[in-house]
Structure 1
Amino acid sequence: MKTASVRYLGELRTECTHLGSGTKIITDAPLDNHGKAEAFSPTDLVATSLASCVMTIMGIYCQTHQIPFVAAEATIEKHMASDPRRISKIVLDLDLSGNDWDERTKQKVIAAGKACPVARTLEGNVSLELNIH
């Protein structure tokens, strides 16, 4: 099933459209690769997708197990390598402190999040550092 369309806008920008909702994302090349960095770069989206996927899977786990999930905030640090240019490492700092979970519940929710499809896809290809507190 097709999920998105992408159109090149010129000047190293693309417009990505989610076919189901019509939501659009603009990408721009980063400063260190001939761009203006006025929007997410494609590699920024890969790194950001990791955080989004971890939180989504945690939410699904909590919903399935009737666990209140009221807060999560993350920051992402992306490291690039060259020859060939690629993402070499993603550092995800995830703050779950706004949830009132006992330690056992917290560990189960974290384990669910770490098993998200994006993390499994990147594993072995990109160094992943997941700091969850």
Structure 2
Amino acid sequence: MVKSTGTYLGGLNCQLTHGPSGQTIDTDAPKDNHGRGAAFSPTDLFCAALGSCMVTTMAIAAKNRLGRDIPGVKWEVTKEMSTDAPRRIVRIACQVWMPFPKAQDPEGILERAALACPVKKSLAPEVETPVVFHWPE
């Protein structure tokens, strides 16, 4: 079990602290919800966690099943919020760019690992999460 803590700093800003490492992350409310957008909003952080989790899970699968590391993988997540109440995330579109050809993973181990990551599996089914993998020729 991992514990994190947080402190509300005022002005719609929070500081989160990761218990084991002591690292901190600041959040700010987004511009479209009374904030300045000066840092990740809580929902931005949530969506960014999906991309990070997918690639981390891919890296674990690459190490364990392919015997290699996968440095250079890049990703992008695009968050879409509801236009009706209650305010919520309705779609997280993900793109993942691989630094090597798909021929190096002919069985699709990495894509399956990404799609089975813990964050993706924890999302409500109502949240759309399309994922596109880009492999160089």
Match of 2:91, SS? strand
What is the deviation of 1:68? 3.7
Structure 2 vs 1, CA of residues 114 and 71 (structure 1 numbering), >3 Å: closer, same or farther? Answer: same
Q: Where do residues 73-88 of structure 1 align in structure 2 (5 Å cutoff)?
A: 73-81=74-82, 82-88=84-90
Alpha-carbon displacement from aligned partner over 1:83-113 (angstroms, at most 9, x marks no partner):
10000000111101x1255164462111011
Alpha-carbon displacement from aligned partner over 1:56-80 (angstroms, at most 9, x marks no partner):
0000001112034122111111000
Match of residue 117 from structure 2: 116
Aligned-residue identity in percent: 35
CA distance in 1, matches of 2:28, 2:107: 37
In the superposition, the TM-score normalised over structure 1's length comes to 0.92
CA distance in 2, matches of 1:2, 1:109: 26
Question: Is the Cα contact below 8 Å between 2:2 and 2:20 reproduced in 1?
Answer: no
Match of 1:60, SS? helix
Q: Which consecutive residues of structure 2, in runs of 5 or more, have no partner in the other structure? A: none
Q: Where do residues 1-133 of structure 1 align in structure 2 (5 Å cutoff)?
A: 1-65=1-65, 66-81=67-82, 82-96=84-98, 98-102=99-103, 104-105=105-106, 107-133=108-134
RMSD: 1.5
CA distance in 1, matches of 2:56, 2:127: 21
CA distance in 2, matches of 1:43, 1:74: 17
Q: How many pairs align? A: 132
Match of 1:112, SS? helix
CA distance in 1, matches of 2:124, 2:96: 18
